[in-house]
Structure 1
Amino acid sequence: MITLHGFPASNYYNIVKHALLYKALPFQENLIYAGSDALLSINPVGKVPAITTDEGMTLSESSVICDFIEETYPAIPLYPKSATERAIVRQIMKIAELYFELPSRRLIPYVFSGTHAPDAVKEEVRQVLTRGIPALNRLCQFSLWIAGKELTMADIYVHYVNVVVKACASTQLDWDILAEIPGMKEWNDTMSQSDIAQKIEADRLANMPEFMTHVKAQIQAAQSK
């Protein structure tokens, strides 16, 4: 059985969790926070998520884990058969990560602290997001799903990328970013209505108080050094 290491407040953790649930694979969860000694013993980089397989192999990085899950358990596919279509799915995922999620992530400390990011930081984030919007406009189909008629890993990936975009970039920049991509908001609402997404969201909300306590303890420890 696969063990999924991480915590439900993490959007990258939830990408992998959603893929496992969609494929109806048995797995167990190991609640563990980024940077902890316990996680460092599993993943030397100290990042969430990571998985451990029955054979004792440990993998990290959500896109790597998703590829492994797909190749190892192909019965319920999350990638198209065509190499060209698979490449488009991966391209959507990578652009969403680099030009949507990562710049938005820069604003997380200000969201957590209830403060406003400096104007210079906001402008840098806005510039990167502005590069991602036209790329996603060109690549995303939303007919019905993000890459075409079948749900793919890109749907799962971008849905959880958008959690950070909405919570951080949209609030800090006062900008309805998803509305800049026609069809994105409606598609995102459809994704959020699935039983899997609702279970994951319930788990995320249940974990948030403990996660925020963990974050505050880390901040206090850093300030005391």
Structure 2
Amino acid sequence: MITLHGFASSNYYNLIKHVLLHKALPFNEHLIYNNDEPFLAINPMGKVPAITTTDGLNIAESSVICDYLEETYPSKALYSEDSTERAFVRQIMKISELYFELPSRRLIPYVFSGSPTPEQIKNEVRQLLERGVNAFCELTHFSPWIAGEQFTMADIYVYYVNSVVNAFAPKELNWDILAEIPGMKEWQAKMSQSTIAQQIEADRQANMPEFMQKVTAQIQAAQSK
């Protein structure tokens, strides 16, 4: 059986969990944090999530895990059989990661520590997010799904990327980013209503107190040095 390593407050952990649940694959959840020493034996990069396959192979990096799960368990396909359509879906996924999630993540340390975000950081984040917005306006369809008529891996990927964007960027930048992309907010609301998304959100909320304890302890340890 597949084991999913990580914690429910992580958006990328939840992304992989959504894929596993969508494909109705049996799996175990191993609650572990990326700064825990045992996790480094699973993923030396220390990034959540990681999976251990049924034959004992450890795999990290969310996009790699997504492709592994799709290729190994092709039922309830999340990619088209057409290579051009697959590339289009992967392009949306990569843009969301590089120009939405990663820039927004730069704001997290300031939000968690309660310190003001430097204007230079805000400007750099905004510039990258603007590129992402422009790309999404060109690429996304929401008819009804993000890449067109079929529900794809991009729907799951972008939904959990947006959870980081929504949590940090609007407040720090005073900018409702998703509203800039026609159809994005309506699609986001529809995604949140699925049974799988609601189950994952309940698990995320349950994990938040422990996760925040970990974050607070790390901040205090850093400040005491």
* TM-score category, normalised to shorter length: over 0.9
* Matching of residue 52 in structure 1 with residue 52 in structure 2: yes
Cα distance in 2, alignment partners of residues 103 and 72 from structure 1: 32
Cα distance in 2, alignment partners of residues 114 and 158 from structure 1: 27
Cα distance in 1, alignment partners of residues 126 and 223 from structure 2: 30
Partner letter of residue 122 of structure 1?
K
How far off its partner does 1:116 sit? 2.8
Cα distance in 1, alignment partners of residues 118 and 219 from structure 2: 20
How far off its partner does 1:115 sit? 3.5
Partner letter of residue 205 of structure 1?
Q
Once the two structures are overlaid, the 10-residue window that deviates more, 107-116 or 138-147, is: 107-116
Name the counterpart of 1:126.
Answer: 126
How far off its partner does 1:110 sit? 1.7
Name the counterpart of 2:66.
Answer: 66
1:132-181 superposed Cα distances (whole Å, 9 cap, x missing partner) = 11111111010000001111000000000000001111111010000000
Q: Where does the alignment leave 5 or more consecutive residues of structure 2 unmatched?
A: none
Cα distance in 2, alignment partners of residues 222 and 109 from structure 1: 12
Name the counterpart of 1:205.
Answer: 205
1:70-109 superposed Cα distances (whole Å, 9 cap, x missing partner) = 0000011011111000000000000000000000000011
Name the counterpart of 1:20.
Answer: 20
Cα distance in 2, alignment partners of residues 210 and 47 from structure 1: 18
Cα distance in 2, alignment partners of residues 112 and 222 from structure 1: 13
* Matching of residue 149 in structure 1 with residue 149 in structure 2: yes
Q: Does the CA contact (< 8 Å) of 2:15 and 2:160 recur in 1?
A: yes
Cα distance in 2, alignment partners of residues 168 and 34 from structure 1: 21
Partner letter of residue 38 of structure 1?
P
Q: Does the CA contact (< 8 Å) of 2:179 and 2:185 recur in 1?
A: yes
Partner letter of residue 198 of structure 1?
Q
Partner letter of residue 66 of structure 2?
C
How far off its partner does 1:219 sit? 2.0
Q: Does the CA contact (< 8 Å) of 2:107 and 2:168 recur in 1?
A: yes
TM-score, normalisation: structure 1: 0.98
SS in 1 for 2:12: helix
TM-score, normalisation: structure 2: 0.98
Cα distance in 1, alignment partners of residues 114 and 189 from structure 2: 26
Residues 58-97 of structure 1 aligned to structure 2 (within 5 Å): 58-97=58-97
Cα distance in 2, alignment partners of residues 32 and 173 from structure 1: 32
Cα distance in 1, alignment partners of residues 155 and 217 from structure 2: 34
Q: Where does the alignment leave 5 or more consecutive residues of structure 1 unmatched?
A: none
Name the counterpart of 2:7.
Answer: 7
Q: Does the CA contact (< 8 Å) of 2:113 and 2:219 recur in 1?
A: no
Name the counterpart of 1:180.
Answer: 180
Q: What number of residue pairs does the alignment pair up?
A: 225
Cα distance in 1, alignment partners of residues 111 and 224 from structure 2: 22
